[in-house]
Structure 1
Amino acid sequence: MSGSRPAPEGVDPNTPSSARIYDYALGGKDNYAADRAAAEKVFALAPEMPLMARQNRAFLGRAVRYLSAEAGIRQFLDIGSGLPTQQNVHQVVAETAPESAVVYVDYDPIVVAHGDALVATTGNVSFVRGDLREIDHILDHPDLRRLIDFDRPVAVLLVAVLHFVHDADKPYEVVERLKDLMAPGSYLALSHVTPDPHPEETAELVEVSTRAGAPWVARSRAELMRFFDGFDLVEPGLVTAPEWRPDLTKQVDPDKMWVLAGVGRKR
């Protein structure tokens, strides 16, 4: 962590983690020197990255409120959830329907340890350690099977995670696998870094991040729309994160927001 506490078993503090880099961008303290060093290399090229992280987190909150309060969803599967912070999914849905089931999934053992502590007394919320690239392992987990019934509508949240899944790991097939399980009337919410506003700068950022040990991939609007095959996009469609049903008092310059976000309803 940012202090002097030793790393938990199974955690290499010298290898950057996307979850801990995201935590650092949000102003959190559950990160190591390697995470901060990798993040600062990216921030040096794109100072708007911390703002994008905050706006991405705000999109998650607005999407979950919509899904719970307006769409009536009572089951949430948040894959690539990252470290618990303010306004987690189960806290947001508790405002509308505290009986909702929420399953968080992340591959980082620190995330799961913090998550387990957060929901230790909550029977309808669970943290599962799993990697999106091994989707069947996640879907077979007993906690997920206990809480999520795919015969009923469910919201699958893939917020700021698919850009860590390279094409060789078959991201479209992973989303298709999830879609096939989801009942009609289910929802997919995702956000993803795009190169569309600044392709040359984005390519440089990807290269710097890869060298720093935190590789990711940017995808175009057309590539992101493929994830929504079989879904009808909820208004306003696939837009920059702060433009999705905004509740902002101050407009964010879309040219400085390289994250597209959207919510789709399965037909």
Structure 2
Amino acid sequence: MTQTTTQAMTRTTTQAMTRTMVPTGQAALDAREISAWFGDRKVLDRVSLAMPAGSVTALIGPSGCGKSTFLRTLNRMHELIPSASLAGEVLLFGKDVYDPGVKLTDARREIGMVFQKPNPFPAMSIYDNVVAGLKLTGGRARRAEKDALVEECLGKAGLWVEVRDRLRQPGGALSGGQQQRLCIARSLAVRPRVLLMDEPCSALDPTSTRRIEQTIHELAHEVTIVIVTHNMQQAARVSQQCAFFLAEQGTPGVIVEAGDTKTIFEAPSDQRTADYVHGRFG
């Protein structure tokens, strides 16, 4: 590695650390009274949840209870559906991302997202996939800075060692687990403060799942993570806080109970939570 590349990596890493250092316990994201609709159908009813900075919050609950919809409201992905509407506030370190003065591109740069199905740009190389976000957000960087960024982000995503000798090969040629880690690296390249993950391991084998979970552990100290998962063991392994969503008898989704993960799994206050985390329904 050249001295210029090393200096660039040090500079970008320092910037990321400066940006993500926040007071312990402060909420990175604070959703307040979120209600959501698709047309006339209400799918979330006054959901409030504070998601602490520098930690992992898991959203759990049976299918159709509004977990993924709630996740998408956090970075305005909900707006992509023409019939969708929303009430409430989503505060990112105190600033409402739905405020008219907040640009949509800025909100999604600050709050990145990794989807259930890996979605690298298949015709782009691994290298170009990582730096693609810079073009989309209008960022510019010199070649040495890009090289450093690619190595840094692929390293954080646990993929650098596996692909460093084939960075110019198509991202679509990677295995499913590698593609998902490439998508994580791509999200990290624009320096998000929060990373949303919608069932990122549901289509992966156990080995790839373990690597993604290791990546989550390593990232959580600098990027706040919110993950939707149907895997209770995974929620228990990776998160510090859990929120249990439920939609009963056709009613909109609500949070039944939220708190630290150990309490939710070992001593929940609501019997419905205990029944769900112990596999008695869902």
- Fold match by TM threshold 0.5: no
Q: Larger C-alpha radius of gyration, 1 or 2?
A: 2
TM-score (norm. length: structure 2): 0.33
Structure 1 or 2: larger strand share?
2
